[in-house]
Amino acid sequence: MIYRKLNIAIIEDNDDLRDDITFFLRESGYNVWSCSSAEFFWRQLHAELTDIVLVDISLPGEDGFGVVKHLNLLKKYGSIIITAKGERQDKLNGLQSGADLYLIKPINFLMLTEKIDTLWNRICDEKTIEQGDDKVKVVGNDKISELSEMANWKLDDDRFQLITFDNILVSLSPQEYIFLKNLMDSPGQVFSKLDLHDILFDHVDEVDVHRVDVLLSRLRTKLRVKNVKLPIRTLFGKGLVFQPKG
């Protein structure tokens, strides 16, 4: 459920692409402002209502990684990296910087709006009071408990570790980290194995979603050794979902 009209900022130095995304998102009902550099973005941010920032990596001056890292420290904005850089290390750098999503160009605009809405709904769910609209979101005890458990499954970005609900530390490979980062950032959202394969194994020529199954099996084994059940469900014919409760 989207509580109010979403405000989006776009930082993209390709004029045509920036204009195309801006036009499409405005026609889709979002409030949008855009710029071509990080420097202009920081100057303008205080004057523009902003909820989610779409940012390219290769920008003149400060790059997109720096923008996302600072936005993450502010803890006020969602961030989505949109870039042509699809190497695994680039994705890892983006997610480590604090990006909520990492999307590879060329961008499917309809898919982009779905990702934006999903992220915005998650941001809204994390807020119990909306000061701007003077609305109070009432959350039942069961929902509070569920959100609390989700919040207590965390990733240590510096050490590539999973911190379980019971504060047990599990070391992760970079690939395992990216896999969990995508699922845990969107609890309740179903990710197809094909989408996860594209994120994790885009460097291989042949698609084989069995690689995702092997990765998941390895993670489950790691947690089983520590007597912890990994709260990732497999939905037949649909994909995988991070769901600590229910």
- The per-residue pLDDT for range 141-198, each reduced to its tens digit, is 333 333 334 457 888 877 788 988 878 889 888 889 889 988 888 888 888 998 888 8
CATH number of 139-242: 1.10.10.10
User: How far apart are the C-alpha atoms of 197 and 213, rounded to whole Å?
Assistant: 10
- Tell me: pLDDT of 16 over 90: yes
Main-chain phi, psi angles of 115, to 5 degrees: -65, -40
CATH 3.40.50.2300 fits 7-125, yes or no: yes
> Rounded to 5 degrees, what angle do the CA atoms 211, 212, 214 make?
65
Q: Which residues is 154 bridged to in the sheet?
A: 163
CA nearest neighbour of 12 among 36, 29, 28, 32: 36
Q: What whole-number distance in Å separates Cα of residue 103 and Cα of residue 220? A: 27
Residue ranges in 34-188 assigned as alpha helix (H): 38-45, 64-74, 88-97, 109-125, 141-151, 174-184
pLDDT at 125: 66
Q: Give this prediction's pTM.
A: 0.55
Q: Residue ranges of the domains in the chain? A: 7-125, 139-242
Q: Looking at the predicted structure, is the pLDDT value of residue 136 above 60?
A: no
Structure tokens at 22: 């801006």
Most confidently modeled of 34-48, 101-115, 171-185? 34-48
